[in-house]
């Protein structure tokens, strides 16, 4: 076994940094860790994308993809696909911490519950967005939808709604991490809470892929989406510490 | 100087059931407190409350004069639990650098490499933990807990399930830690190993402190001494 | 003492309901356009209101648990949520019956129906979540956090679904309807009766929950021996 020599103690505690420089750094470290781990195995992302494809395929049996009518409900279709596929990623978020009791080490580290939440949410957001951006062209091809016409507004909507899904999903992933039937409970709890965000996303997406500009009534839906994100992000930041230190 | 650990009137409830009842415990800086007791006596529960993983129903814990959830207290605390608490999908080095960053070490990479060296894992530093043998994983867990050179080490059954080499590494590290004036609180069933290190002993019985005091020569001679004198029949 | 108070409240609720039933079914004439079925509104609207009051109490109890760590708050939260779900179910069912008679359909995806259903699902999730957690203290915390999320979501759900076309009649009692004064009185008295009934049911459920917790603690004692 290696020799363990005594050596002068190093002062490892640097001068306390202010919250505003420490928090973003901690968030980045945690997000990087989750992304790195996921990229090694790609379990969640692969499963999520494959699931998205399967649902897209199944929908084609439910109604004729060639019909004009399909395009009227395209936003709804797309967000059902995203929401279903998303839970596969979100389920893994805190479940990833279970083997080896990693969550203990994370909670023991001098980072706040808010930092853990934001780090994990950021990683989930990146993974979900990746799955969605790959699914989007596939959807466009299969269902003959011109999703590129209002590309930037559509991207904004996708980002806002995905953040909403991520916030709720990350918090609930932490809530359900230690309970029985975790995989079943998460979607059961997440979808009803997400309904306002998903509705707004569906309305906006349907209009945008039909070529309508982001104006008029659509702005009201956009505001709803922003409001949903802001309210639940604040609530999550407030309550995460309570969830982690039950 | 304030106590390293002060547990004052701590109760923990599972519903109405008190898993811990009015626990009073102290550990001076530089002490090594061995928490002993049967399964279900509340050792793990108490350690998790000290570590700030769970809130006491009543009473308070202070770590160097601060609550366990304050960042300053956690920076000075290291925890080794039942799991190894390192990520299977990351390499040994990545794991340690990750925790070095979370603990805000001045040079996380150097600290990580040093500790890989000390635990004899330098040659596999880029290997994924998933591919490690049991003993290597355990030594990495030890490196993870010591990485930020905590002033207080909380350990839940540290010797259980360790292989010989990991026990040797851990014991040697703990001796040095104590020599450097760090504090250790550990729960254990391995009385002999624990009592050799311990300066103080606390016996938990059904959620209460049945005995607490200095480790005496009798205990070392007969590890069952505390149980024989203070344990339930 | 507490027992007697509960009995008294229960009796008052029963008397009120008897009085209201007498008025609703025997005294009031059929409404001009809807006929006999309009009477259902005397139950439909107060049930929704009682459920809403219950949701408020559940929020307060959840915050109470998180801040004071008294188990009684958790018991109150689960008791009042269950009772409110029953009231909301009564609201949904009476609404559905009314819809079958007046619209000819049991259900339509109109704003109010949809939001009531979503709210019901939100709080049903609360009960399902509880069933999945064994340890009472941990269960209380997790359920309380969920309950707060659910409550915050309720106005957003209602508001967003309202932006869809509404088929539901506009509020008749407090929205500029032209009903006789005694109808208002009966509706209010029925609301009072339902709230009292809710209080009694919640109190009974609360006691069950506390007993359940005692039993759980005894079982844990037995295991610890």
B117-133 pLDDT tens trace: 998 999 999 999 999 99
Q: DSSP string of C60-120?
A: HHHHHHHHH--HHHHHHHHHHHHHHHHHHHHHHHHHHHHHHHHTS-S----HHHHHHHHHH
B173: left (phi over 0), alpha (psi -120 to 50) or beta: alpha
CA dihedral A76, A81, A84, A85 (to 10 degrees): -150
B-chain residues near A105 (CB < 8 A): 79, 85-86, 99, 144
Higher pLDDT, B158 or B24: B24
pLDDT band at C223 (very low <50, low <70, confident <90, very high): confident
A-chain residues near C148 (CB < 8 A): 235, 239
When CB atoms are compared, the residue of A185, A196, A243 closest to C132 is A185
- Per residue, the 3-state secondary structure of C169-197, as one string, reads CCCCCCCCCCCCHHHHHHHHHHHHHHHHH
B158: closest CA among B34, B55, B53? B34
Of the CA atoms within 13 Å of residue C210, those in its CB half-sphere come to 11
Inter-chain residue contact C71 with B55, CB threshold 8 Å: no
Element (H, E) at B112: helix B108-118
Exposed e or buried b for every residue in C137-149, given b needs 16+ CB within 10 A? bbbbbbbbbbbbb
Is residue A85 within 8 A of residue A165, CB to CB? The reply is: no
Q: How many angstroms away from the CA of B36 is the closest CA of chain A?
A: 22
Residues C109 and C166: their CA atoms lie apart, in Å, by 9
Inter-chain residue contact A245 with B69, CB threshold 8 Å: yes
C-chain residues near B21 (CB < 8 A): none
Residues A181 and A186: their CA atoms lie apart, in Å, by 9
CA dihedral C225, B227, B209, B152 (to 10 degrees): -120
Residue C189 reports pLDDT greater than 80: yes
Mutate to test the interface with C, among A188, A193, A227 (most CBs of C within 10 A): A193
B139-179 pLDDT tens trace: 899 999 999 999 999 999 888 877 787 788 888 889 999 99
Looking at residues A165-190, what average pLDDT do you find?
93
Residue C122 near chain A (CB below 8 Å): yes
CB pairs under 8 A between A and C: 78
Angstrom distances, CA of residue C218 to CA of B5, C55, C214:
32, 31, 6
Looking at residues A120-127, what average pLDDT do you find?
97
Is residue A186 within 8 A of residue A173, CB to CB? The reply is: yes
When CB atoms are compared, the residue of A1, A108, A111 closest to B79 is A108
Inter-chain residue contact B52 with A245, CB threshold 8 Å: yes
Q: Which of residues 110-149 of A touch B (CB under 8 A)?
A: 110-112
C19 Cβ contact list (under 8 Å, min separation 6): C189
Residue C70 near chain B (CB below 8 Å): no
When CB atoms are compared, the residue of A188, A195, A243 closest to C157 is A195
When CB atoms are compared, the residue of C135, C213, C224 closest to B16 is C213
pLDDT band at A143 (very low <50, low <70, confident <90, very high): confident
Q: How many angstroms away from the CA of C72 is the closest CA of chain A?
A: 17
Inter-chain residue contact A112 with B71, CB threshold 8 Å: yes
Higher pLDDT, B220 or C153: C153
Inter-chain residue contact C66 with A242, CB threshold 8 Å: yes
* pLDDT of A5: 44
Is residue B84 within 8 A of residue B123, CB to CB? The reply is: no
Share of chain B above pLDDT 90, in %: 66
Q: How many angstroms away from the CA of B54 is the closest CA of chain C?
A: 10
Residue C118 near chain A (CB below 8 Å): yes
Select the highest-mean-pLDDT range: A33-37, B164-168, C24-28: A33-37
Minimum Cα–Cα distance from A243: chain C residue? C142
* pLDDT of A15: 47
Looking at residues A174-203, what average pLDDT do you find?
92
Q: Which two tokens stand for residue A76?
A: 């709804």
A235: closest CA among A114, A124, A122, A86? A114
* pLDDT of A11: 46
Inter-chain residue contact C137 with B40, CB threshold 8 Å: no
Give chains near C: 3+ CB pairs under 8 A. A, B
Share of chain C above pLDDT 90, in %: 54
* pLDDT of C169: 61
In the beta sheet, which residues pair with residue B79? Answer: B154
Inter-chain residue contact A104 with B169, CB threshold 8 Å: no
Between helices C41-68 and C71-102, what is the axis angle to 10°?
160
pLDDT band at C27 (very low <50, low <70, confident <90, very high): confident
* pLDDT of C164: 63
Angstrom distances, CA of residue A245 to CA of A104, B53, C66, C129, C138:
10, 5, 12, 18, 10
CB pairs under 8 A between B and C: 35
Residue C215 near chain B (CB below 8 Å): no
Higher pLDDT, B88 or B233: B88
Inter-chain residue contact A189 with C129, CB threshold 8 Å: yes
B46: closest CA among B186, B161, B223? B186
B174-219 pLDDT tens trace: 999 999 999 999 998 888 878 888 999 999 998 999 988 888 888 8
Give chains near B: 3+ CB pairs under 8 A. A, C
Higher pLDDT, A67 or A28: A28
Residue A19 reports pLDDT greater than 90: no
Minimum Cα–Cα distance from A19: chain B residue? B71
pTM of the model: 0.91
Residues C189 and C195: their CA atoms lie apart, in Å, by 10
* pLDDT of B135: 86
Inter-chain residue contact C217 with B15, CB threshold 8 Å: yes
Q: How many angstroms away from the CA of C55 is the closest CA of chain B?
A: 23
Residue C186 reports pLDDT greater than 50: yes
Residues B90 and C68: their CA atoms lie apart, in Å, by 41
* pLDDT of C3: 84
A150 Cβ contact list (under 8 Å, min separation 6): A208, A209, A211, A212, A213, A214
Residues B134 and B139: their CA atoms lie apart, in Å, by 9
* pLDDT of C172: 58
Start-to-end CA span in chain C (Å): 36
Residue A15 near chain B (CB below 8 Å): no
Mutate to test the interface with B, among C145, C220, C222, C223 (most CBs of B within 10 A): C220
Residue A4 reports pLDDT greater than 70: no
Q: Which two tokens stand for residue A197?
A: 């965000």
Average pLDDT along chain B: 90
Residue C176 reports pLDDT greater than 60: no
A-chain residues near B168 (CB < 8 A): 1
Minimum Cα–Cα distance from A97: chain B residue? B87
pLDDT band at A242 (very low <50, low <70, confident <90, very high): very high
B27: closest CA among B59, B69, B64? B64
Residue C45 reports pLDDT greater than 80: yes
Q: Tokens 């890989």 identify what position?
A: B116
Q: Which two tokens stand for residue C83?
A: 């009772």
Q: How many angstroms away from the CA of B85 is the closest CA of chain A?
A: 4
Higher pLDDT, C2 or C116: C116
Minimum Cα–Cα distance from C214: chain B residue? B16
pLDDT band at C168 (very low <50, low <70, confident <90, very high): low
Q: How many angstroms away from the CA of C204 is the closest CA of chain B?
A: 19
Q: Which of A63-67, B218-222, C55-59, C149-153 has the lowest mean pLDDT?
A: A63-67
Residues A144 and A68: their CA atoms lie apart, in Å, by 10
Q: How many angstroms away from the CA of C174 is the closest CA of chain A?
A: 27
C-chain residues near A231 (CB < 8 A): 152, 156
* pLDDT of C79: 97
B190 Cβ contact list (under 8 Å, min separation 6): B157, B159, B160
Q: Tokens 């009072």 identify what position?
A: C192
Average pLDDT along chain C: 88
Residue C158 near chain A (CB below 8 Å): no
* pLDDT of A1: 38
Residues A56 and A143: their CA atoms lie apart, in Å, by 9
When CB atoms are compared, the residue of B13, B17, B55 closest to C221 is B17
Q: Which of B79-83, C43-47, C111-115 has the lowest mean pLDDT?
A: C111-115
Q: Residues, chain B, total?
A: 233
């Amino acid at each position: 076994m290696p020799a363990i020599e005594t050596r002068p103690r190093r002062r490892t505690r640097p001068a306390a940094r202010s919250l505003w420089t420490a928090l973003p750094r901690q968030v980045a470290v945690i997000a990087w860790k989750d992304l790195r781990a996921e990229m090694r195995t790609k379990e969640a992302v692969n499963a999520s994308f494959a699931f998205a494809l399967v649902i897209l395929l199944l929908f084609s049996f439910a109604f004729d993809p060639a019909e004009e009518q399909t395009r009227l409900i395209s936003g709804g279709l797309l967000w059902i696909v995203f929401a279903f596929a998303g839970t596969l990623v979100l389920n893994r978020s805190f479940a990833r911490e279970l083997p080896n009791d990693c969550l203990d080490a994370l909670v023991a580290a001098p980072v706040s519950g808010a930092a853990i939440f934001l780090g994990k949410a950021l990683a989930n957001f990146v993974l979900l967005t990746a799955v969605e951006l790959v699914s989007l062209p596939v959807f466009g091809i299969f269902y003959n939808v011109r999703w590129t016409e209002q590309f930037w507004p559509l991207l904004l909507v996708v980002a806002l709604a995905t953040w909403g899904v991520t916030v709720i999903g990350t918090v609930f992933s932490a809530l359900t991490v230690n309970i029985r039937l975790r995989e079943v409970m998460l979607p059961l709890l997440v979808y009803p809470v997400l309904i306002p965000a998903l509705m707004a996303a569906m309305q906006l997406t349907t209009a945008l892929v039909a070529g309508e500009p982001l104006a008029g009534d659509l702005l009201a839906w956009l505001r709803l989406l922003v409001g949903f994100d802001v309210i639940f992000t604040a609530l999550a930041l407030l309550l995460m510490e309570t969830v982690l230190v039950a | 100087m304030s106590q390293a650990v002060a547990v004052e009137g701590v109760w923990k409830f599972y519903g109405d059931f008190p898993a811990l009842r009015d626990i009073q415990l102290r550990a001076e800086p530089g002490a090594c407190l061995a928490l002993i007791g049967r399964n279900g006596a509340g050792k793990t529960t108490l350690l998790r409350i000290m570590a700030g993983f769970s809130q006491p129903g009543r009473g308070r814990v202070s770590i160097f004069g601060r609550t366990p959830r304050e960042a300053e207290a956690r920076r000075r605390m290291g925890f080794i639990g039942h799991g190894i608490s390192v990520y299977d999908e990351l390499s040994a080095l990545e794991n340690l650098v990750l925790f070095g960053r979370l603990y805000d070490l001045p040079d996380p990479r150097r600290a990580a490499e040093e500790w890989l060296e000390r635990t004899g894992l330098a040659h596999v530093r880029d290997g994924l933990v998933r591919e490690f043998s049991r003993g290597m994983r355990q030594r990495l867990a030890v490196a993870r807990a010591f990485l930020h050179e905590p002033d207080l080490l909380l350990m839940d059954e540290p010797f259980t399930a360790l292989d010989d080499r990991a026990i040797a590494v851990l014991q040697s590290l703990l001796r040095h830690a104590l020599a450097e004036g760090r504090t250790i609180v550990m729960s254990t069933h391995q009385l002999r190993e624990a009592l050799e290190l311990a300066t103080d002993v606390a016996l938990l019985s059904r959620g209460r402190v049945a005995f607490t005091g200095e480790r005496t020569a009798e205990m070392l001679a007969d590890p069952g001494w505390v149980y024989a004198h203070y344990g339930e029949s | 003492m507490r027992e007697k108070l509960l009995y008294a409240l229960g009796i008052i609720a029963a008397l009120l309901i008897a009085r209201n039933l007498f008025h609703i079914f025997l005294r009031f004439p059929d409404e001009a356009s809807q006929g006999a079925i309009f009477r259902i509104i005397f139950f439909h609207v107060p049930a929704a209101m009682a459920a809403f009051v219950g949701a408020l109490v559940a929020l307060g109890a959840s915050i109470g648990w998180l801040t004071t760590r008294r188990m009684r708050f958790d018991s109150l939260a689960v008791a009042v949520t269950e009772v409110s779900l029953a009231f909301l179910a009564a609201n949904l069912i009476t609404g559905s019956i009314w819809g079958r008679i007046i619209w000819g359909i049991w259900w339509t995806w109109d704003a109010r129906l949809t939001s009531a259903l979503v709210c019901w699902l939100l709080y049903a999730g609360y009960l399902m979540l509880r069933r999945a957690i064994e340890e009472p203290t941990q269960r209380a915390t997790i359920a309380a956090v969920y309950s707060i999320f659910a409550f915050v979501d309720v106005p957003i759900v209602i508001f967003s679904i309202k932006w869809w076309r509404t088929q539901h009649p506009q509020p008749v009692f407090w929205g500029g309807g032209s009903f006789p004064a005694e109808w208002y009185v009966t509706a209010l008295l029925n609301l009072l009766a339902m709230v009292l009934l809710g209080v009694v049911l919640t109190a009974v459920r609360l006691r069950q929950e506390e007993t359940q917790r005692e039993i759980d603690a005894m079982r844990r004692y037995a295991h610890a021996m």
